A and B are shown apart, each in its own frame.
Chain A
Amino acid sequence: MLQMSWLIPLFPLLSFILLLLFRKSKSESTAWIGVLLTGLSLVMSVGVCLAVWQGEGIKTEGTWFQIGERAITMGFEVNPLNALMLVIVSLVSFLVHLYSKGYMHGDERFGVFFAYLGLFSFAMLGLVLSPNLLQLYMFWELVGLGSFLLIGFYYFKPEAKAAAKKAFVMTRIGDVGLFIGMVLLFWQVGSFEYDEIFATVKNGDISDGMLTLTALCIFVGAVGKSGQLPLHTWLPDAMEGPTPVSALIHAATMVAAGVYLVAAMYPLFQASEAALTVVAVVGGLTAIFAASIGLMQKDIKRVLAYSTVSQLGYMMLALGASGYVAGIFHLTTHAFFKALLFLAAGSVIHAVHTQNIEEMGGLWKKLRLTGPLFLIGALAISGVPLLSGFFSKDEILASTYADGKYGLFWLAVIAAFMTAFYMFRLFFLVFTGEARQEKKDGQKDVHESPSVMTFPMIVLGVLAVVAGYLNTTWFGTFLSDYLARGPVELPHGDHHGPVWIPLVATLASLLGIGLAYLIYQRGTLSRDWITRSFPGLSDVIYNKWYIDEGYDQTVVKGTTGLSKLGALFDRYVVEGLVTAVTTGVQRLGRIGSRLQNGQVQSYGTAAIFGIVILLLIVALTGGYFS
């Protein structure tokens, strides 16, 4: 089984190629190619994961090409961490394929959509299986390509075009950081292999400054991909893509790749206290910052997008606070419940054809399946006890506390409160109360999505409930035992903070839910009392802290300004220099042409003088030049 694990990414690649070839086919049954092939990947991933659970991982490599004496290798590696990722990625990918069969029904580029999904799945699975940094980087970029193509799937929409471009460029900024880190590390270690890098780090062959520098450069890559502060702005915009894409790429898999990267390179980060602190601080700030924006958004997908950014911040915070297991644990549970939320949101959008939550309402009765499933997702993400989110969030809080980062701990608690609040604000506004949308002519009644869409949601709903029991103090810490067998030496086992931490977390989430209930369900509190009491602040939050505008004013304007300046420079200085030279030559020519007066006698005179001078030189120098 393990030897064959390199096949896992190839199935979606095959699906990509086949579907591109059958692109013109009108039949929507082509989707089954994608579903079937990702299904195969899923089966194999589960097999691989079980094999690793019972036994050892595997690593196989071959030379890709050589630079001098150094061989650059390609291959695959299976260890506990990436076997787990394989399952998550292929599972979500499979479910999203299935879901899209219903969601994308009737789209004229139906086949292309599945082809792109295949390309993305290939890249993501390849990324996870990579045994060295270079290969990871290559798939890292390809994942970005898949995301770019899918965000820009509705290519005719200007917003989608802008969003796709923004996503690619913003993540590219991060990628360059990763690139620099990777190359610097190569010259320190002499290899891109994880094993050798870790061995060198362990031996202390790299100076402390260099370690921190490379770790931070690599972290910049993770910041770009995972939408952390300050490179987060592309992720909410990426919601221009079709909703299944948001579920697959911008909730469950690609954005988690940043977290995965930090986890995969964990020994490097562990070696540098400063780097870990930076990771934790960036993660914690992102968590609360994005949660605050999520409080005010009106687009259902954007709320979920900011919630994703915030949850990714949590994961980073966990990793930065030495909570390796907690970070991965949250990654896993988040993949399930956030994909569930997005798919449910997609189902809602599919039913009501709008994304504005102000125009929804009272859908609980009409969407008998979507409603409860969304509720499960919302409860899970809010950290209500017994659901998966509770356990993973609790671990993050515990490890942050145990690591002594008390400030970040309280930030995380506040973020948890905000999360619960905005999720239930969303829930109440969408599913309860009266329908606020006026029915347009000819519009069909709101109806539940077809079973091909609801089935994936049900699977994810079940997982969102039970995934938490992978790692609990009550039943067993399966996950941390499992991850402990990986290449990463876990920090100090479990760190279970004081007993009051789960209580505080539960309290925070219940408070958030309760507040949302009071405002949006009961109407006890007026909906705009916050807005009215702090007009300035709410304005800033509603406009996403004006970060986009800030970037526009500084970076974008600066770059285009510089570019225009360069164009002027090119036109006037560089070209001017050339014109100066040519006019100079022309002037010289004109002077020369004045000498040519047509008088044979003056030519003769010049010739005679010339020969006299030459003869004089010969005579005076005594024939030196001969």
Chain B
Amino acid sequence: MNTWLLSILIFSPLLGVLVLMFIPSHDEKSIKWLGVLGTLFPLGIALVVLSAFNIAEEGLQLAERFSWISYEVFQSKGEVKYPIFYEVGVNGLSMVLILLTAVVSVLAAIASFSIKQNWKSYFILFFLLEMGMLGVFAAQNLFLFFIFFEITLIPMFFLIGRWGYLEREKAAYSFLIYNGVGSAILLIVFVALFMKTGTMNFEQLAYTLSLPQAELNQLFITKGFKMGMLIALLIAFAVKLPVFPLHSWMVRVHVQAPPAIVMIHSGILLKIGAYGVIVFGAGMFPEQFKSLAFIIGLFGVINLLYGAFLALTQTDVKRVLAYSSVSHMGIVLIGLAAVNESGMTGAVFQVVSHGLISALLFFLVGALYDRAGSSELSAFGGVAKRMPILAGIFLAGGLASLGLPGMSGFISEFMAFLGLFEKMPVLAAVGTLGLILTAVYVLRAVLAITFGAEKDLHKADDLSSSERIPAFVLLAAILFIGIYPAWLSDMLRPTLDAILLGLGG
């Protein structure tokens, strides 16, 4: 039963930290290559995990469980044990996200070649961040989830604050404050659930919470309590996702953080919010989730339109992409709000697809920034002339972002909207306005950079070979999912079916 494989995966980035300790901090070249190697190693293990993963099987796989902390509390009803285990495991959903994490990390490490200073501490933090992300998706109880969740925050704070652009510190603080508040709410919820149910394990918790109300009353769990917990959870993850009006930190981080970190941030960290909503929200409080579906959908549509409208007139390409992330996360909510198979699948597809697409786009923006020393749209023009590959991939990324069929963005948008149209056609119809707006702002930004009269950049080389790897790999992944979505949907189906069974849909 205990295969150790997942634990090895989670802690594998630490090997990179260990090796880096012995490299002198001025040896730029070996540090950078070690940085890439250190992320390749987890990717290799992730692939081993994938091969050990049985797609058809339902439920947890490769689970590990060790007793960790246990304490007893004397209460009026007698002695109550509160055991905390170290529990990890994967299901289809977390498998997909772990794979995404491993892949995007490697590519972000390659993108980190443009980091100018303090490479050693940068990569040490980078590895810690990767460990945190892998742990979040593999954790199978609240305690472990929370620990890994926090582990992602701290390296991120330093990565933004030390290696970002001009206003990096402000961005780092607003990142920390918002997410700190989110975590605090999360902690309260977790503790409350633990105290009431006496377990932290996801499955047990979901089981306990699904008991008939009569039995729940004995545990002092009322319907109001459940609803309160769900709302608190949604708010906590809404900060992470982010949902309007809690998005301003994310825009700032996207603009100020170094591109490689934004790849990680918008590619994976935001997805923790979606993962949380699916696993905790829909998975543990199905009834309440269903009753809130309309509000979630409403927020989804607001996010979609609000982000799109704001992206329309931004003059900095990073801000355009930041607001486009807000907008695209709206689609995740839209899919979730549909509370049916197609909506849920669409939401997860959007999570994966946006992870790849935004990683690609931010990578290219980083490459453009290297060449122009600016990310203002007005600084660019006619890039297609001297950098046809960069321009072509940028255009392809933009098209993927606006949901062109044959690319992953289309599948997710299609399924999310398909789902919502069944339940709330009017809301969904309003939401489709976002599809038009997305086309407008994406083309505006992409064409402003690649088309038109050529402007002088201080360096006008096309993508170098080390830059081509991430770009081509991401584009290939986007196309693969767009053309052959069955690969992903088959993997997700057992997990989502289980969640949907709880939702009764």
Report which A residues bind B (CB closer than 8 A): 23, 63-68, 70, 134, 137-139, 141-142, 145, 152, 155-156, 158, 160-161, 164-165, 168-169, 172-173, 176, 179-180, 183-184, 186-187, 559-560, 562-564, 566-567, 570, 574-575, 577-578, 582
User: When the two chains form their complex, are residues A176 and B436 in contact, meaning their CB atoms are under 8 A apart?
Assistant: yes
Tally of A-B Cβ pairs under 8 angstroms: 124
Q: Is B447 in the interface zone, CB < 8 Å from A? A: yes
B75 to chain A, nearest CB (A): 9
A156-B382 CB under 8 A given contacts A176-B436, A567-B313, A574-B245:
yes
Q: Is B198 in the interface zone, CB < 8 Å from A? A: no
User: When the two chains form their complex, are residues A152 and B451 in contact, meaning their CB atoms are under 8 A apart?
Assistant: yes
User: When the two chains form their complex, are residues B451 and A161 in contact, meaning their CB atoms are under 8 A apart?
Assistant: yes
Question: What's the Cα separation between A513 and B340 when bound, in Å?
Answer: 62
User: When the two chains form their complex, are residues B451 and A141 in contact, meaning their CB atoms are under 8 A apart?
Assistant: no
Q: Is B341 in the interface zone, CB < 8 Å from A? A: yes
Of the candidates A161, A560, A575, which one forms a contact with B312 in the assembled complex, judged by CB atoms under 8 Å apart? A560
User: When the two chains form their complex, are residues B404 and A563 in contact, meaning their CB atoms are under 8 A apart?
Assistant: no
Chain A residues contacting B158 (CB-CB under 8 Å) are: none
Question: What's the Cα separation between A574 and B247 when bound, in Å?
Answer: 9
A169-B405 CB under 8 A given contacts A145-B399, A567-B313:
no
Chain B residues contacting A567 (CB-CB under 8 Å) are: 310, 313-314
Of the candidates B341, B405, B436, which one forms a contact with A68 in the assembled complex, judged by CB atoms under 8 Å apart? B341
Q: Is B453 in the interface zone, CB < 8 Å from A? A: yes
Could you list 13 further interchain pairs (A-B, Cβ under 8 angstroms) beyond the known A65-B489, A152-B451, A161-B451? A23-B388, A66-B489, A156-B385, A161-B452, A168-B439, A172-B439, A176-B433, A180-B432, A184-B421, A186-B418, A566-B309, A570-B310, A574-B247
User: When the two chains form their complex, are residues B248 and A582 in contact, meaning their CB atoms are under 8 A apart?
Assistant: no
Question: What's the Cα separation between A343 and B356 when bound, in Å?
Answer: 42
User: When the two chains form their complex, are residues A183 and B405 in contact, meaning their CB atoms are under 8 A apart?
Assistant: no
Question: What's the Cα separation between A427 and B309 when bound, in Å?
Answer: 47
A64-B417 CB under 8 A given contacts A142-B404, A156-B385, A180-B432:
no
Question: What's the Cα separation between A582 and B178 when bound, in Å?
Answer: 11
Of the candidates A152, A168, A187, which one forms a contact with B422 in the assembled complex, judged by CB atoms under 8 Å apart? A187
Give the most central of A63, A68, A137, A145: most B CB within 10 Å.
A68
Chain A residues contacting B435 (CB-CB under 8 Å) are: 172, 176, 179
Give the most central of A155, A168, A173, A562: most B CB within 10 Å.
A155
Chain A residues contacting B314 (CB-CB under 8 Å) are: 567
Q: What would 7 A/B residue contacts be, using CB atoms closer than 8 Å?
A: A68-B342, A138-B410, A139-B405, A156-B452, A183-B417, A184-B421, A564-B313
A183-B447 CB under 8 A given contacts A139-B405, A145-B399, A566-B310:
no
Chain A residues contacting B502 (CB-CB under 8 Å) are: none
Q: Is B101 in the interface zone, CB < 8 Å from A? A: no
A353 to chain B, nearest CB (A): 21
Question: What's the Cα separation between A314 and B277 when bound, in Å?
Answer: 52
Chain A residues contacting B500 (CB-CB under 8 Å) are: 68
A67-B342 CB under 8 A given contacts A560-B312, A570-B310:
yes
User: When the two chains form their complex, are residues B425 and A184 in contact, meaning their CB atoms are under 8 A apart?
Assistant: yes
Of the candidates B177, B382, B404, which one forms a contact with A582 in the assembled complex, judged by CB atoms under 8 Å apart? B177
B318 to chain A, nearest CB (A): 15
Chain B residues contacting A138 (CB-CB under 8 Å) are: 405-406, 410
4 tightest CB-CB pairs across the interface, nearest first?
Answer: A68-B341, A138-B405, A65-B486, A563-B312
Q: Is B429 in the interface zone, CB < 8 Å from A? A: yes
User: When the two chains form their complex, are residues B248 and A570 in contact, meaning their CB atoms are under 8 A apart?
Assistant: yes
User: When the two chains form their complex, are residues A67 and B415 in contact, meaning their CB atoms are under 8 A apart?
Assistant: yes
> What sequence of 0s and 1s flags, for each residue 118-141 of chain B, a beta carbon within 8 Å of any chain A beta carbon?
000000000000000000000000
Q: Is B336 in the interface zone, CB < 8 Å from A? A: no
Of the candidates B404, B422, B486, which one forms a contact with A63 in the assembled complex, judged by CB atoms under 8 Å apart? B486
Question: What's the Cα separation between A44 and B63 when bound, in Å?
Answer: 55
B342 to chain A, nearest CB (A): 4
Chain A residues contacting B341 (CB-CB under 8 Å) are: 67-68, 70
Question: What's the Cα separation between A574 and B248 when bound, in Å?
Answer: 7
Chain A residues contacting B382 (CB-CB under 8 Å) are: 155-156
Q: Is B254 in the interface zone, CB < 8 Å from A? A: no
Question: What's the Cα separation between A22 and B405 when bound, in Å?
Answer: 25
Chain A residues contacting B310 (CB-CB under 8 Å) are: 563, 566-567, 570
Look across to chain B and name the residue whose beta carbon is closest to the beta carbon of A585: B177
A169-B345 CB under 8 A given contacts A176-B436, A563-B309, A570-B310:
no
User: When the two chains form their complex, are residues B443 and A65 in contact, meaning their CB atoms are under 8 A apart?
Assistant: no
Chain A residues contacting B293 (CB-CB under 8 Å) are: none
Question: What's the Cα separation between A64 and B488 when bound, in Å?
Answer: 12
A407 to chain B, nearest CB (A): 32
> What sequence of 0s and 1s flags, for each residue 233-253 of chain B, a beta carbon within 8 Å of any chain A beta carbon?
000000000001101100000
Q: B-side binding surface: helix, strand, loop or mixed?
A: helix
A66-B452 CB under 8 A given contacts A155-B382, A176-B436, A575-B248:
no
Give the most central of A64, A139, A186, A570: most B CB within 10 Å.
A570
A223 to chain B, nearest CB (A): 14
Of the candidates A67, A70, A158, A578, which one forms a contact with B452 in the assembled complex, judged by CB atoms under 8 Å apart? A158
Q: Which of B451-505 touch A at CB < 8 Å?
A: 451-454, 485-486, 489-490, 493, 497, 500
Look across to chain B and name the residue whose beta carbon is closest to the beta carbon of A624: B76
Q: Which of B410-446 touch A at CB < 8 Å?
A: 410, 414-415, 417-418, 421-422, 425, 428-429, 432-433, 435-437, 439-440, 443-444
Chain B residues contacting A187 (CB-CB under 8 Å) are: 421-422
Look across to chain A and name the residue whose beta carbon is closest to the beta carbon of B76: A626
Chain A residues contacting B143 (CB-CB under 8 Å) are: none
Q: Is B94 in the interface zone, CB < 8 Å from A? A: no
B414 to chain A, nearest CB (A): 8
Question: What's the Cα separation between A36 and B404 when bound, in Å?
Answer: 28
Question: What's the Cα separation between A226 and B375 when bound, in Å?
Answer: 38
Question: What's the Cα separation between A164 and B405 when bound, in Å?
Answer: 18
Question: What's the Cα separation between A161 and B422 when bound, in Å?
Answer: 38
Q: Is B306 in the interface zone, CB < 8 Å from A? A: yes
Question: What's the Cα separation between A172 and B410 when bound, in Å?
Answer: 13
Chain A residues contacting B306 (CB-CB under 8 Å) are: 566
Q: Is B282 in the interface zone, CB < 8 Å from A? A: no
User: When the two chains form their complex, are residues B444 and A165 in contact, meaning their CB atoms are under 8 A apart?
Assistant: yes
Look across to chain B and name the residue whose beta carbon is closest to the beta carbon of A66: B489
Give the most central of A142, A161, A562: most B CB within 10 Å.
A161
Question: What's the Cα separation between A396 and B482 when bound, in Å?
Answer: 41
Q: Is B384 in the interface zone, CB < 8 Å from A? A: yes
Look across to chain B and name the residue whose beta carbon is closest to the beta carbon of A154: B451
Question: What's the Cα separation between A476 and B490 when bound, in Å?
Answer: 54
Q: Is B183 in the interface zone, CB < 8 Å from A? A: no
Chain B residues contacting A65 (CB-CB under 8 Å) are: 485-486, 489-490
A211 to chain B, nearest CB (A): 15
Q: Which of B331-353 touch A at CB < 8 Å?
A: 340-342, 345
Chain B residues contacting A172 (CB-CB under 8 Å) are: 435-436, 439
Chain A residues contacting B405 (CB-CB under 8 Å) are: 137-139, 141-142
Chain A residues contacting B415 (CB-CB under 8 Å) are: 67
A500 to chain B, nearest CB (A): 47
Of the candidates A176, A183, A562, A578, which one forms a contact with B421 in the assembled complex, judged by CB atoms under 8 Å apart? A183
User: When the two chains form their complex, are residues A67 and B489 in contact, meaning their CB atoms are under 8 A apart?
Assistant: yes
Q: Is B266 in the interface zone, CB < 8 Å from A? A: no
Chain B residues contacting A158 (CB-CB under 8 Å) are: 452-453
User: When the two chains form their complex, are residues B447 and A164 in contact, meaning their CB atoms are under 8 A apart?
Assistant: yes
Q: Is B201 in the interface zone, CB < 8 Å from A? A: no
Question: What's the Cα separation between A599 and B115 when bound, in Å?
Answer: 49
User: When the two chains form their complex, are residues A169 and B453 in contact, meaning their CB atoms are under 8 A apart?
Assistant: no
A169-B421 CB under 8 A given contacts A67-B415, A137-B405, A563-B313:
no
Look across to chain B and name the residue whose beta carbon is closest to the beta carbon of A145: B404
Look across to chain A and name the residue whose beta carbon is closest to the beta carbon of B425: A184
Q: Is B450 in the interface zone, CB < 8 Å from A? A: yes
Chain B residues contacting A574 (CB-CB under 8 Å) are: 244-245, 247-248
Chain A residues contacting B414 (CB-CB under 8 Å) are: 134
A229 to chain B, nearest CB (A): 19
Of the candidates A161, A173, A582, which one forms a contact with B436 in the assembled complex, judged by CB atoms under 8 Å apart? A173
Question: What's the Cα separation between A165 and B449 when bound, in Å?
Answer: 13
User: When the two chains form their complex, are residues A141 and B489 in contact, meaning their CB atoms are under 8 A apart?
Assistant: no
Look across to chain B and name the residue whose beta carbon is closest to the beta carbon of A65: B486
